[in-house]
């Protein structure tokens, strides 16, 4: 290190460079442009550390300080944050995939093939989206396990646990609606199996117990509502596509917003009492 | 933990937050960045190495055999072997979701929060882990051990499509099934009250009933599986309207 050579009378080349860098940094961070973007100083002070969190739209979700145990990896394993991160990955890769995909039986499968063979990094893009979805499902389940094992659902955090269960269900539904879109044999029959279950719903499914009481048939039961038809076809593909790309992500985004906000409002990250 | 302690100690002259707190910037933000980076690398390597499956184009005229639900629903599909669709596909998932949401309203203690506590919450954690494990075991069986016509295959066995002779199944007559079902839930509730008297005392009758009903329903799943596999029981209760 340059600084260890204390007996040197004139500043060494390294030290001079450091000084130049510092002057340059001072000039940049004092400029109007910089200060219009970052509402805090550059110097590493406690005040600036606080402002870095509170004056940043993305970081202000966090408190300024946290109990020391909360940042231990082995406390949260970052599971909730990583689930959210994967939601963002799915959003970005999903929007990119939308450029190459048309949710119509005549085109859907051809678009998949085109994506795989004719689009630069198309297969990788799809792989990222697909494997990311699986990873997100696993992570959200593990996050729930972590929250349970640390007793973090207990009062006053009851409602946030309820929101979390809803987000788990939404994650599964997001994954399930996406499963149909490739329009291959795997997608078609997996979703056939899944949606056939809806027909077994008591009272409102055409094959469920007590369906006769409401006079429900295959043309007006809950499965028909899902598929827009008596069997899986173009209507179902369009419904699943719209739900997958717009409806469910919007609901999930709103619930996530409340979920994160409530972490703060319900007393911050759970701590040992 | 130790590196965070060292690092935060070194800025004391800048004024550390009071108590046992650390500033979120940079300590937590740095960890979040690192975690996001690591998972991005993992996902990217995975995506470059393994292609997502793409079978031939959907053909409503050619049924896949076996036709499996996405893996996270395969556990429920596996239950179709043992239960009618309205139970396996509708009632059980509904109960799982409602039961999960009910947890904080049934376990209202404010103790043992914010740390991994096994000793203090043996009962709660035991039940939860049982359910969690059951969910994953059913998924593994359904995903990896089921072949054509949903017949059981060990992973090293080749899948052969055989119609196979179905095992003869029988059901309890209703005058046996009804007492068995009622006895299971009522007896279970009373036994649990004798075994864990503090549970009833701390929960009160309403919450205790809900807890016991949910827990006994959960344990009824593997019990029904056993009844089916060992004794060949199709339904515990058979009625003209629905079968359990």
Helix segments in A150-184, DSSP class H: 158-180
Confidence at residue B1, expressed as pLDDT on a 0 to 100 scale: 36
Q: What is the mean pLDDT of residues A173-186?
A: 97
pLDDT band at A6 (very low <50, low <70, confident <90, very high): low
Query: Does the beta-carbon distance from B59 to A185 stay under 8 Å?
Result: yes
Q: What is the mean pLDDT of residues A8-27?
A: 85
Q: What is the mean pLDDT of residues A147-154?
A: 95
A56-85 residues touching B, CB cutoff 8 A: 59, 62-73, 75, 78, 81-82, 85
Show the tokens assigned to B108: 């209202």
Confidence at residue A271, expressed as pLDDT on a 0 to 100 scale: 84
**Distance (Å) from the alpha carbon of B188 to chain A's nearest alpha carbon:** 25
Confidence at residue A9, expressed as pLDDT on a 0 to 100 scale: 63
Residue pairs between chains A and B whose CB atoms are closer than 8 Å: 254
Q: What is the mean pLDDT of chain A?
A: 93
Q: What is the mean pLDDT of residues A19-24?
A: 93
Residues in chain A with CB shorter than 8 Å from the CB of B46 are: 127, 131
**Distance (Å) from the alpha carbon of B229 to chain A's nearest alpha carbon:** 23
Torsion angles phi and psi, residue A224, rounded to 5: -60, -35
Measured CA to CA, the distance from residue A119 to residue A113 in angstroms comes to 9
Confidence at residue B18, expressed as pLDDT on a 0 to 100 scale: 59
pLDDT band at A13 (very low <50, low <70, confident <90, very high): confident
* Closest chain B residue to A158, measured at CA: B104
CB-nearest partner of A200 from B8, B20, B89: B89
Q: What is the mean pLDDT of residues A110-123?
A: 96
Confidence at residue A8, expressed as pLDDT on a 0 to 100 scale: 55
Instruction: Give the pLDDT confidence of A240-252 residue by residue, as tens digits.
Output: 999 999 999 999 9
Query: Does the beta-carbon distance from A151 to B104 stay under 8 Å?
Result: no
Instruction: Give the pLDDT confidence of B161-178 residue by residue, as tens digits.
Output: 876 667 788 899 999 999
Confidence at residue B190, expressed as pLDDT on a 0 to 100 scale: 94
Measured CA to CA, the distance from residue A122 to residue B103 in angstroms comes to 43
Confidence at residue B55, expressed as pLDDT on a 0 to 100 scale: 95
**Distance (Å) from the alpha carbon of A85 to chain B's nearest alpha carbon:** 7
**Distance (Å) from the alpha carbon of B155 to chain A's nearest alpha carbon:** 20
**Distance (Å) from the alpha carbon of B234 to chain A's nearest alpha carbon:** 17
Torsion angles phi and psi, residue A65, rounded to 5: -125, 155
Confidence at residue B165, expressed as pLDDT on a 0 to 100 scale: 64
A95-134 residues touching B, CB cutoff 8 A: 105, 109, 112-113, 116, 123-124, 126-128, 130-132, 134
Cα torsion B211, B214, B215, B216: sign: positive
Confidence at residue B10, expressed as pLDDT on a 0 to 100 scale: 37
Query: Does the beta-carbon distance from B54 to A186 stay under 8 Å?
Result: yes
Residue B21 bridge partners (DSSP): A67
Q: Is A154 on the interface with B (CB under 8 A)?
A: yes
* Closest chain B residue to A138, measured at CA: B72
**Distance (Å) from the alpha carbon of B207 to chain A's nearest alpha carbon:** 15
Instruction: Give the pLDDT confidence of A211-225 residue by residue, as tens digits.
Output: 888 889 999 999 999
Residues in chain A with CB shorter than 8 Å from the CB of B112 are: 151
Residues in chain B with CB shorter than 8 Å from the CB of A169 are: 97
Tokens 């099934």 correspond to B177
Instruction: Give how far the C-alpha of residue A26 lies from the chain's centroid of Cα atoms, to the nearest Å.
Output: 37
DSSP for A106-135, written as a single string: HHHHHHHHHHHHTSTTHHHHHHHHHHHHHH
pLDDT at A207 over 80: yes
* Closest chain B residue to A273, measured at CA: B113
Query: Does the beta-carbon distance from B31 to A71 stay under 8 Å?
Result: yes
Query: Does the beta-carbon distance from A131 to B60 stay under 8 Å?
Result: no
Query: Does the beta-carbon distance from A59 to B68 stay under 8 Å?
Result: no
DSSP for B11-66, written as a single string: TGGG-PPSSSEEEHHHHHHHHHHHHHHHHHHHHHHHHHHSPPP--SBP-TTS--SS
* Closest chain B residue to A62, measured at CA: B24
Measured CA to CA, the distance from residue A203 to residue A215 in angstroms comes to 9
* Closest chain B residue to A237, measured at CA: B58
Instruction: Give the pLDDT confidence of A67-105 residue by residue, as tens digits.
Output: 988 888 999 999 999 999 999 999 999 999 999 999 999
* B54 vs A9: which has the higher pLDDT: B54
Residue ranges in chain B modelled with pLDDT below 70: 1-19, 163-165
Query: Does the beta-carbon distance from A53 to B25 stay under 8 Å?
Result: yes
Torsion angles phi and psi, residue B118, rounded to 5: -100, -40
pLDDT at A2 over 70: no
Confidence at residue B7, expressed as pLDDT on a 0 to 100 scale: 39
Interface pTM, i.e. ipTM: 0.89
Confidence at residue B240, expressed as pLDDT on a 0 to 100 scale: 85
Measured CA to CA, the distance from residue A91 to residue A97 in angstroms comes to 10
CB-nearest partner of A197 from B90, B108, B116: B90
Pairing of strands A65-67, B21-23: antiparallel
Q: Does domain A78-265 fall into CATH 2.30.110.10? A: no
Best of B61, B70, B107 to substitute, by most chain A Cβ atoms within 10 angstroms, is B70
């Amino acid at each position: 290190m340059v600084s260890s050579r204390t007996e040197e009378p004139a500043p060494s080349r390294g030290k001079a460079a450091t000084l130049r860098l510092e002057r340059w940094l001072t000039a940049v961070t004092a400029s109007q442009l910089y200060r219009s973007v970052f509402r805090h100083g550059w110097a590493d002070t406690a005040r600036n550390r606080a402002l870095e969190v509170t004056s940043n739209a993305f970081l202000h979700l966090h408190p300024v300080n946290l109990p020391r145990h909360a940042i231990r990896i082995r406390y949260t394993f970052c599971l909730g944050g990583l689930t959210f991160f994967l939601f963002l990955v799915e959003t970005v890769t999903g929007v990119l995939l939308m450029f190459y995909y048309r949710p119509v039986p005549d085109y859907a499968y051809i678009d998949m093939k085109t994506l795989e063979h004719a689009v630069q990094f198309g297969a990788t893009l799809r792989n990222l989206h697909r494997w990311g979805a699986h990873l997100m499902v696993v992570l959200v389940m593990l996050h729930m396990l972590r929250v349970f094992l640390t007793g973090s659902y207990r009062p006053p955090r009851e409602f946030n646990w309820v929101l979390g269960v809803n987000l788990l269900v939404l994650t599964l539904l997001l994954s399930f609606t996406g499963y149909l879109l490739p329009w291959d044999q795997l997608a078609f029959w997996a979703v056939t199996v899944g949606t056939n279950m809806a027909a077994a719903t008591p009272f409102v499914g055409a094959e469920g117990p007590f369906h006769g009481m409401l006079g429900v048939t295959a043309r007006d039961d809950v499965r028909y509502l899902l598929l827009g038809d008596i069997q899986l076809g173009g209507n179902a593909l369009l419904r699943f596509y719209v739900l997958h790309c717009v409806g469910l992500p919007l609901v999930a985004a709103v619930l996530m917003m409340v979920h994160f906000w409530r972490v703060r409002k319900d007393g911050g990250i759970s701590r040992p009492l | 933990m130790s590196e965070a302690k060292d690092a935060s100690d070194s800025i004391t002259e800048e004024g550390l937050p009071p108590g046992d707190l650390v500033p979120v910037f940079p300590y937590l933000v740095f960890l979040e960045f690192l975690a996001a980076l690591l998972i991005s690398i993992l996902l990217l390597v995975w995506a470059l190495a393994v292609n997502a499956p793409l079978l031939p184009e959907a053909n409503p005229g050619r049924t896949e055999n076996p036709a499996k639900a996405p893996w996270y629903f395969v556990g429920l599909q596996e239950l179709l072997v043992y239960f009618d669709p309205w139970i396996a596909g509708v009632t059980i998932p509904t109960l799982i979701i409602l039961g999960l949401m009910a947890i904080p309203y049934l376990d209202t203690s404010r103790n043992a929060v914010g740390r991994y506590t096994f000793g203090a919450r043996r009962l709660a954690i035991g039940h939860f882990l049982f359910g969690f494990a059951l969910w994953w075991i059913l998924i593994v069986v359904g995903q990896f051990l089921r072949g054509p016509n949903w017949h059981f295959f060990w992973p090293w066995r080749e899948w052969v499509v055989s119609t196979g002779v179905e095992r003869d199944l029988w059901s309890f007559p209703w005058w046996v099934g009804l007492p068995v079902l009622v006895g299971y839930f009522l007896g279970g509730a009373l036994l649990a009250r004798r075994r864990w008297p503090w549970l009833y005392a701390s929960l009160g009758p309403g919450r205790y009933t809900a807890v016991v009903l949910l827990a006994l329903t959960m344990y009824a799943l593997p019990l029904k599986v056993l009844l089916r596999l060992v004794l060949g029981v199709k339904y515990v209760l058979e009625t003209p309207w629905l079968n359990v």
